[in-house]
Amino acid sequence: MDVQAIQQGLATAVTNVTGIEQALPSLTDAINPPTFAVTEFEMTYNQTFKGSGIGMVETLFSCGIYTSHGNSEAGRVALVGFLAPSGSGSLKAAIETDRTLGGACATLLVERVRGAYRLYTISSIDYLGAILDVRVWSTS
């Protein structure tokens, strides 16, 4: 499993989402919102066992969407659109269009949103945002 290829695949998947200014495979020191970035991951090994010794790896990627400096009404409106389950501005719909991310994984699922309307501090600046959890399955 190539973690960096999956991170890049997630960022690439949302580049055409209406309103996204930046789509990053990892969080940088400075962003230009609205920004989507893969922020962290948790990996679980040995989800299945096969005679060949190849097992399924399950990885939960946390992806941030940051819409505005501080808590603004425009940022809240934009965030609701990005978190919608479908439509041209939906991050979920964009990510799930190609569930293999161009062959980087076996399949994926945008599992949930958490921390919506929270302020996230990046380089001492508060941004309104949310976290999307994307569960990815691949072989080791």
Q: What are the pLDDT digits (tens) for 114-125?
A: 999 999 999 999
For the chain, percent of residues with pLDDT exceeding 70: 94
Q: What are the pLDDT digits (tens) for 6-19?
A: 999 999 999 999 99
Res. 48: pLDDT tops 70: no
Q: What is the pLDDT of residue 45?
A: 80
Cis peptide bond upstream of 34, omega within 30: yes
- Which overall architecture, per CATH, does domain 3-139 show? 2-Layer Sandwich (3.30)
Contacts of 102 (CB under 8 A, 6+ apart): 9, 12
Q: Is 17 exposed, middle or buried (0-12, 13-18, 19+ CB in 10 A)?
A: buried
56-69 and 35-44 beta bridge pairing: antiparallel
User: Over the range 108-123, which residues count as b (16 or more CB within 10 Å of their CB) and which as e?
Assistant: bebeebeebeebbebe
Q: What is the mean pLDDT of residues 78-93?
A: 96
CA distances from 86 to 80, 91, 103, 110 (A): 11, 8, 23, 12
Residues 2 and 104 sit within 8 Å (Cβ to Cβ):
yes
For the chain, percent of residues with pLDDT exceeding 90: 86
